Structures are given as structure tokens and as C-alpha cells.
Structure 1
């Protein structure tokens, strides 16, 4: 196997992208979604979050993105305290479970949307949209309408829209959950290629332990509600990863270890 150059570089550069200290979230109805979460994520990490449904994975992402308030504790993002939902669009991008495309806009216009709220000249916007579509393999589909696309292609458009502003961090909330297995594995490989190309930090929610091990250099295992980080497991498998690694003994061992923790 090739040496894991990308991962070794990540370890050498200990710049913190996210620091969570005793983070809790209690909703207005009294439900405690997340309790006393401590987690540090380094620049360039690919961290997957696994845990039972309702354990607060999406809540953590929403707090990081500034979409919901923090009840207790502190989150620092790029060395700045998160205090409101006013975040720079270039800091992070969010990919949800559904592609959430506007059905009356074609692919090019859907991808362009985040740029329309920024003071970027039209010529530069055109270049950024073109690069983003090429990055996810959608060159030639600029004028296609969402209704003409498969589920996998719609998700590619959603990813292209998230990447068009060249964010430092990408949050992905179970983006491949509704896809068939072949499409899912193809997009996993594409996502790793994009991550390596763009040198960004990725946080990824999944219920699929195999997916978490294949993609990540670290996996955060959460407990049932109220959600806590039970353990963070390193995935010392080399990049680039391919289909063969899924049958390697080391891969199976990590899947078994994480699955056992989830059972407990």
C-alpha cells in the first residue's frame, strides 16, 4: 500500500479547525439532545460521526454551522467563538440528506446560487461554477433540469453547490443514505478525490459503519440520547483508498471495533 502522505501531513500540522468544550444543547421543550461534548478536529481531517438515530449528530453540525444556538459550553471554529448564525460563506458549506435543488433552475443556476449573495463579478462566478461542476464530474450537464437527473447526479449538484465558494470546511449530513449501493460507493470515491484535491476539513454523518471507515481518518462514536462522544477512533488506513481495501483484514477489524462500541 502507498504511504499515507495526506494523513501524515494532517498530523504534522496541528492547526485546530474545531474545538468543542463541554458542549450541550437543550431544546425549548426540555429535550437534551447533546450533553458535554468535547472534541477537537484538526485542519484537513475527515471525521465521520456514527451513532443511534436521535443521538444529536445533526444537532452538533447545526451548532457548528451556527444554525442553532449552544445551550452550554463553547465551540471555536477557525479560532473564533461561535456566537451567532452570521458565518462567512467561505468558512463552511453544508450538504443535507436531500439534494434540496430548486426544481425551476437548471444545474448551472442551482450551483451558482451561493455566489449570488457575494460581491463576486459575473466573470469570476462563471469560472467558479465551471470549476465546481468539473470537480464533481458534471461537465456537459449545465443546462439539465433537476427532474432529468438521477438521485446520484442530484447529489453531485448539491455537492458542487457546496464547493463553489471554496469553503474551508464541508459538513455532510448523511448525503448518500438514500442512494443504491453502487452509486453510493462511486460517490464515496469521488468525495475522497475532492477532499484530497481541495485540502478541506470534512465532517460527515452516516449510519453506515463501513462507509465511516472507508472515508475517514477518524470516526467519532456517539452514545444514545443525550448524545455524547463515547470514543474517537483513528483509522490508520492509507490514502488513496480503493475498493480492494474494503476486503482487507485491517478494514474489517475497524468495522468490528466500531460496531461493538455502538452495541454498547
Structure 2
């Protein structure tokens, strides 16, 4: 099944808080295509529309105008996407009263995955993320990195076609985050998921992505292809060079956002 994403003329606007107040447009006619099995990172300053874009694509928010389709199949007005999706947040959002394994069971119970396959799926992803020995541990017994790994297992267990990730490693220390990025790329190469990854970290985006999309004022400021062979080395000078380009665009987008804020205050 084709898992590519097509976005055409996507507009998302929040109404003003007071009567007569002008609404705030977060996405401003965004056009973006993401190929089947592509790993795309979205980068931009706070308020540029990154999380709003994910919420729109995932069906969490269906109040928008424009067209969104997956593999050529449009998203209906009920917001239900035509493909299976996994969503990983910045916080693991684990249920503290359930063991690691039962946290995964919880999402499987609300999926269409046959129960006869649950044990196989759990064993596979627990092993792939290094959590084989932690099936029966509770969330408070796991480190931050392990909790986020479990959150990844939970997202993958329903066998999604597309994986959305909203700054999932930003709360981790850098050494743990590095290991998680490497593990994520290994999982992606094995499973062939289409991944859309939100981040504020220019080097993280460069290391992970096939393509980095920098947002500014609700639209695309720059698209940067990362044509560095995989597997990648953190210390590869080519990655540093590309990350400088990504950082320059990120800084420019932040400056544009600040100018717009000041103009709005003045006007």
C-alpha cells in the first residue's frame, strides 16, 4: 500500500478570542508531498504550525480547508485517514498503573490487529528496542529513555503505515537521544514506514531525514535534501555542512516570526 502524503493548499485558522478580533492563521496555504517510505523532518520556530500540521494529518483536528490525501486517497471530512497511523509525543504518555506489556496491550485492544498476533508483535518490538527484560516493569521503574522506547513500541504495535513524531526526544539527555535516533533509523529501515518527525534541533533533523522542511509563518520557507549515504556517522563533516544550512533557515524563520509579532502588536 502506498503510504505517501499529499497536502495541497492547507489552511488552518483559529478565530479571535474577542468579538471582532481577527483570527490567527497558523497554516497559510501549505503545499507538501511526502513520498512512500520517506523520512521527513519538519523544523521551525514555535508557533510556525508544526504541531498543527501533525494534528491535521492525523485526524486530531479536521477543522481546516485544503486537501490532504494518503496514497492518493483523500481524508474524509470526518477526519478519519485512509491509512493506519502511529503517533509519538514529546511525553511518553504511559499509563502508570499498567506494566510495560499491558501498556502495549491497551492500544492493541483498540486496534484491528488480531489477538493471535499480539505476542509475536510485542516480542518483536520489545527486542528491537532493547526492552526484552522489561515486559513486567511499571513506567516508574523505567528511565526516561526506556519510557520513550516503550512509547515507540506502543506506536509501532498497531502496525501503522505512517508514523508521526512530535519532538519525541527533546526531553532526553543528549547521549540517550543519540541512541534513540540511531535505533529509530534502524527500525525505519527494517519496517519501511513513512515518517514525519517534528523537531527544533537542526542537527537532529539533518541526521535523521531524507529531507528537512523549514516552516515559517505557516508555509514552507525551505526544503533541504540530505543526500548523505546511510548508515550515517554523527561526526560526518557533510552532515555538519548541511545542518549549518538548516540552522540558517531556522534562524531566519524565527526572525521572520518575531518581525510579524511586532508588526501585529504595532498594528
TM-score by length of 2: 0.87
Alignment map for 1:159-170 (pairs within 5 Å): 159-170=152-163
Q: What's 1:210 paired with?
A: 203
Distance change >3 Å, CA 119–CA 53, structure 1 → 2: closer
Pairing partner for 1:178 from 161, 167, 171: 171
Match of 2:34, SS state, is strand
Whether the aligned pair in 2 keeps the contact of 1:23 and 1:70 (CA below 8 Å) is: no
**What displacement does 1:247 show?**
2.6
Max Rg structure: 2
Whether the aligned pair in 2 keeps the contact of 1:24 and 1:70 (CA below 8 Å) is: no
Q: Deviations over 1:121-178 (max 9, x none)?
A: 4332222222221221111100000000110000000000000011111100000001
Please say which of residues 191-200 and 118-127 is displaced more in the overlay: 118-127
Q: What's 1:123 paired with?
A: 116
Give runs of ≥4 in structure 1 deviating > 4 Å.
none
Match of 1:140, SS state, is helix
Q: What's 1:261 paired with?
A: 249
CA distance, structure 1, for counterparts of residue 98 and residue 236 of structure 2: 44
CA distance, structure 2, for counterparts of residue 119 and residue 68 of structure 1: 23
**What displacement does 1:16 show?**
6.4
CA distance, structure 1, for counterparts of residue 249 and residue 114 of structure 2: 50
Q: What's 2:79 paired with?
A: 85
Pairing partner for 2:234 from 237, 246, 254: 246
Q: What's 1:190 paired with?
A: 183
Give the aligned length.
244
CA distance, structure 2, for counterparts of residue 36 and residue 121 of structure 1: 40
* Structure 2 portions without partners, runs of 5+: 17-22, 253-267
**What displacement does 1:182 show?**
0.3
Whether the aligned pair in 1 keeps the contact of 2:3 and 2:161 (CA below 8 Å) is: no
Match of 2:132, SS state, is coil
Match status 1:140 vs 2:133: yes
Whether the aligned pair in 1 keeps the contact of 2:70 and 2:81 (CA below 8 Å) is: no
TM-score by length of 1: 0.88
CA distance, structure 2, for counterparts of residue 191 and residue 250 of structure 1: 21
Q: Deviations over 1:45-104 (max 9, x none)?
A: 10000000111100000111011024221111122111223346x611100110000000
**What displacement does 1:249 show?**
2.4
Q: What's 1:41 paired with?
A: 34
Q: What's 1:23 paired with?
A: 10
Match of 2:60, SS state, is coil
Please say which of residues 127-136 and 213-222 is displaced more in the overlay: 127-136
Distance change >3 Å, CA 181–CA 119, structure 1 → 2: closer
Please say which of residues 126-135 and 201-210 is displaced more in the overlay: 126-135
Distance change >3 Å, CA 41–CA 119, structure 1 → 2: closer
